[in-house]
Structure 1
Amino acid sequence: MFDLQIPPPSALEPPAAAISAPSWDLTVGLIAATVQLDQRNGDAATRRVGTGFLIDAPRPDGQPRTVLVTAHHVLDGMPDPDARIGWRVETPDGGWRFAPEPLRIREETGEPVWTRHPERDIAVMEVSAPPAFARAAIPLGWLAEAGSLDAWQVGPGDELLTLGYPRGYSSNTAGFPILRAGRVASWPLTPISRFPVFLLDFPVFPGNSGGPVFWTPTARKLPGTVEPEHPFIAGVLVSEVRPGDEPLGIGIVAHAAYVREAIALLDAPAGP
């Protein structure tokens, strides 16, 4: 978990069209669905930053719904009622501009608006997204299920991609996330009831928390293993391995099946 204090930087089944799209298009699709989350600290000179991504998760009655996914500790560490979500707007000249807007994350009483997974560092909440972002939200079917990694023969050495805002930096002034890669660094990965997280070999920084860890054909798989028919989100980056003050350059990823469970809680009947 991170307590980030930095100065603002300057600078189911997938759609058939997605299966036939070039792999870089699929990666760009995940980039389009990833957003920066931030809130200024009390000194107003620094801010807490995390990463979130959007899932297209229709309600049980079929009504459309866009759900924001991030790490629970990202939102829990933001004490004010409003955070910011980093929308981006395409300009008429073909460029982009960063267009963050307030995001209500707490009631006036301080109660969280988001829903937390009861056991994992995962938070979800329905958001009112601009139309372009609602269209960019990743299909629910791209979230790996409990048995997906076994079915797709994902194991040590396989490469996965991740998106985020390390130390609050983006890839450009338009606020697009930074794409990075790492290799699965632990075994076994399943059953997830025994191994709810797995390790990814890449340096983790404050601001990466809450980012998607995913596979598209852009990422490399070991020879002789099954290549999935469509991209999938394997999990959410929730922390890093850090014995004492020494970072090891290894991320901790919570399985995507827990994101599915957290989204299902949005539709659970309210308690008495």
Structure 2
Amino acid sequence: MIQVPPADVPPPVAPPVWDLTVGLIEATVQLDQPSGPDTRTVGTGFLIQAERPDGSPRIVLVTAAHVLERMEDPDARIGWRTALPDGSWRFAPEPLTIRDDAGEPLWTRHPDRDVAVMEIQAPDAFARAAIPLGWLADRNAFEAWQVGPGDELLSLGFPRGLSANRAGFPILRVGRIASYPLSPVEAFPTFLLDFTVFPGNSGGPVFWTPSARKRPGTTEPDNAFIAGLLSQEVRVGEDQLDIGVVTHAVFIREAISQLDPLP
């Protein structure tokens, strides 16, 4: 059973809409499944608010498709966090069924990209923390905000299953865009980010915020966006190049649209 704070404990205060960093920290969760007596498969996911066509609310878990594909058992774990009366937090993972009785996946995979989405039931605090669909970058976001090679992006994840603290919050990292061009996304569906990637980072959000760079000609932009999700690290043979591959957020949008049957 999922534990929630007592009624007299106020829920976590939602950050201002422009504070995507804190918002995504609260919306990012660890995914894991035992893979042996002393080992486990670990990945990162984040929650998106994506209304159904009829306007009813829906929470969607987003991660890299290979994270779930490598979890062979029907149940994984999702790392919820519970606020306690004294202001501290407790890591409170719960089972997450990812395959049906026949072993078929319950998630939806993008047909061409390493993106998986899955409708889930989340505790109220996490449902409130889920990031609105509109924060996912569209095809024109990089050009509109003049974000390009050398600019900094932030990323959240659980490298080698580690978290920022015992409460299970993700670790925040920063890297620079290391490839060009970034568009059109149909021709360049992924881009490179210059930072060290470890197992467990896959599926984490990569995003741009006012703290990364101000919009040209303004003191503070009125928007921020999720640029994509971390798909993999770059290796040449056994050499780790400290470069991550990011899949554009457009393909997250496309995967979420697959959840709704065509009229």
Does TM-score exceed 0.5, indicating one fold? yes
- Within the candidate set 218, 223, 227, 1:230 is matched to 223
Aligned to 2:121: 128
Amino acid of the structure 2 residue aligned with 1:139: P
Q: What does the per-residue CA deviation read over 1:186-217, in whole Å, with 9 as the maximum and x for residues that have no partner?
A: 00000001000000000000000000000111
Is the 2:214–2:220 Cα contact (8 Å) retained in structure 1? yes
Higher normalized strand content (fraction of residues): 2
Does structure 2 retain, via aligned residues, the 8 Å contact 1:49–1:206? yes
2:29 matched to 1:35?
Answer: yes
Q: CA 1:248 to 1:223, structure 2 compared with 1: closer, same or farther past 3 Å?
A: farther
Partner of 1:37: helix, strand, or coil?
strand
Q: Does 2:209 align with 1:209?
A: no
Instruction: Give the letter aligned to residue 40 of structure 2.
Output: R
CA displacement at 1:223 relative to structure 2: 6.7
How many angstroms does 1:28 deviate by?
Answer: 1.1
Bigger Cα displacement from structure 2, 119-128 vs 151-160: 151-160
Question: After superposition, what is the alpha-carbon deviation per residue over 1:77-121, rounded to whole angstroms, capped at 9, x for unaligned?
Answer: 000000000000000000000000000000111100000000000
Conservation of the 8 A alpha-carbon contact between 2:155 and 2:173? yes
Question: In structure 2, what is the equivalent of residue 5 of structure 1?
Answer: none
Where in structure 2 are there 5+ consecutive unaligned residues?
1-13
Across the aligned residues of Structure 1 and Structure 2, the Cα RMSD in angstroms comes to: 1.9
Match of 1:103 in 2: 96
**Is this contact kept in 1: 2:145–2:215, CA < 8 A?**
no
Structure 1 length normalisation: TM-score?
0.88
Aligned partner letter, 1:84: R
1:71-150 equivalences in 2 (<5 Å): 71-150=64-143
Q: TM-score, normalised by structure 2?
A: 0.91
2:5 is aligned to none
Q: Does 1:252 align with 2:245?
A: yes
Q: Does 1:193 align with 2:195?
A: no
- In structure 1, what is the equivalent of residue 62 of structure 2? 69
Letter in structure 1 aligned against 2:254: E
For residues 202-250 of structure 1, give each alpha carbon's deviation from its aligned partner in whole angstroms, at most 9, with x where no partner exists: 0000000000000111223697799642121000000011111101000
For the Cα contact (< 8 Å) 1:158–1:221, is it kept in 2? no
Output the CA distance in 2 between the equivalents of 1:111 and 1:157. Answer: 42
Identical counterparts, % of pairs: 68
Shift of 1:62: 0.5
Equivalent AA in structure 1 for residue 109 of structure 2: R
Give the match's secondary structure for 1:250: strand
What letter is aligned with 1:18? V
Partner of 1:164: 157
State the match for 2:41 in structure 1.
Answer: 48
Residue type of the partner of 2:22? V
After superposition, what is the alpha-carbon deviation per residue over 1:59-90, rounded to whole angstroms, capped at 9, x for unaligned?
A: 01000000000000000000000000000000
Q: Deviations over 1:102-154 (max 9, x none)?
A: 00000111100000000000000001000000000001000001121111111
Deviation readout 1:18-41 (Å, 9 max, x if unpaired): 14xxx4xx3111100000000001
SS for the counterpart of 1:248 is: strand
Equivalent AA in structure 1 for residue 143 of structure 2: D
CA distance in structure 1 between the aligned counterparts of 2:239 and 2:227, rounded to whole angstroms:
27
Distance 2:33 2:15 in 1: 38
Q: Is the 8 A contact 1:164 1:208 kept in 2?
A: yes
Runs of 4+ in 1 over 3 A off after TM superposition: 220-228
Which secondary structure state, in structure 2, belongs to the residue aligned with residue 27 of structure 1? helix
Query: Hey, what does 1:18 align to over in structure 2?
Result: 17
* Residue 243 (str. 1) matches residue 242 (str. 2): no
Question: Could you list the runs of 5+ residues in structure 1 that have no partner in the other structure?
Answer: 1-14
Say if 1:152 and 1:226, in contact at 8 Å, map to a contact too: no
- Structure 1 residue aligned with 2:145, among 140, 152, 168? 152
Check whether the contact 1:83–1:102 (CA below 8 A) recurs between aligned residues: yes
